[in-house]
Chains A and B, each alone.
Chain A
């Protein structure tokens, strides 16, 4: 069979962000995929040389728009670990609430984009309409829709009033209902199944071998979730990581769908148990030493390596984002797929390219 090379991306209708794949195709079946990254590299890690360690909170938030809260939280937890700062309990709970809201809006965004990748436009709009409610909650409680900017070293900057909490809970009931209504369409619809079941299969062992993270890993039946480490107030909340066995696009989709509902539950639990008190502590001095911080983002585990030397600028900041860990998995999923399935498979890992390239 004659080999053809087809470029996929960096500009492609299905991709929200630029990634380029060189696809080798034999008779419309993919035999090889080679990625090219680097279209949106911004050098944010290097900024640690120019901005002091407190200003870096606002810089790392901009590594990824969608999960800005988690980046800042991860960085703040790292620095707090270095400086041995004890964060007030209320701040820990507030961090959980906002990070789970972030997970919800990220998963809803993805569920919409995923529906769009197989041409289900109306489902895309339905999911994004639900997402708007979460964004409203974020805007009303933090002052911004997505880059919420609530974290500081030593706690959080904003508090939730009892009125806001009541309003949030009533909105979440509505959100939950709206998400549940879309469940049957996503999981039982003939067209959706035809496009997602048994596409881009990744076995559990292969996923572990490739160092996959997040819902891509849990969709292959491996129960690994950094939230089980119990950072912030998560050690006081009950949850078990969502897993699915099949390792195909449908399973990954189901994991994210169920995680959205799980996040609603976690927010409710956090609200029920949130203590009163301070929301941040004054942090004096400068960090010294090196530390690793890990947080579960919507796309998987994010990993921060921080090296400080007692000066106001950090020595080194290294960020490993979940999409970076998931790209090798994507490259093993693609061979054997039809060319027409590539958009669905690429989106099934929830690629966040700006995050990856920092």
Chain B
């Protein structure tokens, strides 16, 4: 009948298992796959991230030098971060805050002159 009692008594002296979110937030681990950011000045709009992304949430336009990501379609798998040849995509350790409306990140880079030799063609 009283098999649970030792556990219950122990719980009085052990530390709390829960925390008062959002006042107390857990320390993120270094490796966490959180918010996706693009350092647009390094990006060459090769489109590799868009081709590799399993949820197909990235749209890259080389002509107009734009990079778009549908944040609520992204599954934060980190594939784009690993495949980006310019290493300009990163994932922060923290997650995004909840919002009321679905957002799309839109980034405008510098349009390069036509004859600049650059990366491979998008597929």
Contacts and interface: CB of A to CB of B under 8 A. Distances in A.
A12 interface: no
A132 B56 CA distance: 32
Contacts, number: 58
Contact of A59 (B4, B8, B54): B54
A143 B1 contact: no
B75 A185 contact: no
A184 B8 CA distance: 13
B112 to A, nearest CB: 29
Given A129-B17, A143-B78, A149-B77, A58 B54 contact: yes
Contacts of B6: 181
Given A143-B29, A184-B3, A185-B3, A157 B82 contact: yes
Residue among B8, B32, B53, B77 with max Cβ neighbours from chain A (10 Å): B77
B31 interface: yes
Interface in B69-94: 75-79, 82
Nearest to B79: A58
Interface in A121-143: 122-123, 125-126, 129, 132, 139-143
Nearest to B55: A58
B82 to A, nearest CB: 7
B17 A132 contact: yes
A156 to B, nearest CB: 12
B7 A126 contact: yes
A189 B76 CA distance: 44
A142 B31 contact: yes
Interface of B: 1, 3-4, 6-8, 10, 17, 29, 31-33, 52-56, 75-79, 82
Interface of A: 51, 54-59, 62, 122-123, 125-126, 129, 132, 139-144, 147, 149, 157-158, 181-182, 184-185, 188-190
22 contacts: A51-B54, A51-B56, A55-B52, A58-B77, A59-B54, A123-B4, A129-B17, A139-B32, A140-B31, A142-B31, A143-B29, A143-B32, A143-B78, A144-B32, A147-B75, A149-B78, A181-B6, A182-B7, A185-B4, A185-B7, A188-B3, A189-B4
Nearest 10 Cβ contacts at the A-B interface: A58-B54, A55-B54, A143-B33, A185-B3, A143-B31, A129-B17, A140-B29, A184-B3, A189-B3, A185-B4
